[in-house]
Amino acid sequence: MGFLTDLADRFGADTVATGHYARVERGDGGAVRLFRGRDYQKDQSYFLFGLAPKVLRRLEFPLGELEKTESRAEARRLGLPNADKPDSQELCFIPDGDVRAFAEREAGRTHAGRILSEDGTELGRHEGIEGFTVGQRKGLGLGGGPPRYVLKIVPESSDVVVGDVAGLRSSGLDAVDAAWPGGRPTGPFDAQVRIRYRHDPAPAEVTPTEDGFRVRFEEPQRAITPGQATVVYQGDEVIAGGFISKSAEQ
């Protein structure tokens, strides 16, 4: 987004409008607040938490007040050629869904290693940790037996730890590299926290830390994944966002 505002400066433009499903509100003295889009199914505020206030002040999200069906209807009325273009189902820049191949192509290699049980027993080998995500069940290549899920990925050793579904649940997380769009609170507060894009924000207590925040959920959440973005809301407002460094049990 910073690139777009820099480009706007070159053209002498004050504002940049994008098609994100999110909302921004401006207050006195240059204050700016970021909110979820009205269409919760298409809301993209999760991806915008890190925008600097000086950038956010210059953005407009004209679709933020609309449902996606309304956006499509207006596009049809205007005769736009992409009015009925299907929604992206996976990463838009990896249309074939082959994340491992993309990582190998971009990074020049993948990181093969062991598949381990929770007690450290080697159950098999894998071709690259890039092909796994916490909570994954399919594609482990372990054959029969009870269902197993990816519980943890250890980049330092390229190990993938698997176990039963109970091991996926965690009571909280620590996040780092936090952004606070409306300012950093001085103490703990109640909020709703999203741990991935397709996750309904869950009630939690959030405590600011030196470089991030700590979250303790009212109910354990499934598949909290280090490296994933996590976003804190109060109602529709984005209060904070950061990147998960560990779950409470790690």
Please tell me the predicted confidence (pLDDT) of residue 17.
95
φ/ψ of 103, rounded to 5, equals -65, -40
Which of 3.40.50.720, 2.40.10.220, 3.30.43.10, 3.40.50.620 would CATH assign to domain 2-78?
3.40.50.620
10: enclosing H helix or E strand:
helix 2-11
Distance CA 15, CA 5 (A): 8
Cα end-to-end distance, the chain, whole Å: 34
Contact by Cβ (8 Å): 170, 134: no
Domain boundaries, the chain: 2-78, 112-163, 169-247
Tokens of 68: 């996606």
Architecture of 169-247 per CATH?
Beta Barrel (2.40)
pLDDT at 246: 92
| Predicted local distance difference test score (pLDDT) of residue 85 | 86
Residue 226 to residue 217: CA distance in whole angstroms: 16
Separation CA 87–CA 89 (nearest Å): 6
Among the listed residues 158, 167, 144, 78, the one whose alpha carbon sits nearest the alpha carbon of residue 115 = 158
pLDDT per residue as tens, the chain (250 positions): 778 999 999 999 999 999 999 999 988 777 899 999 999 999 999 999 999 888 999 999 999 999 999 999 999 999 999 888 887 766 676 777 777 778 778 777 778 899 999 999 999 999 888 889 999 998 898 877 889 999 999 989 999 999 999 999 999 999 999 999 888 999 999 999 999 998 999 999 999 999 999 999 999 999 999 999 999 999 999 999 999 999 987 6
Is there a contact between 114 and 158 (Cβ–Cβ < 8 Å)? Answer: yes
The class that CATH gives domain 112-163 is: mainly beta
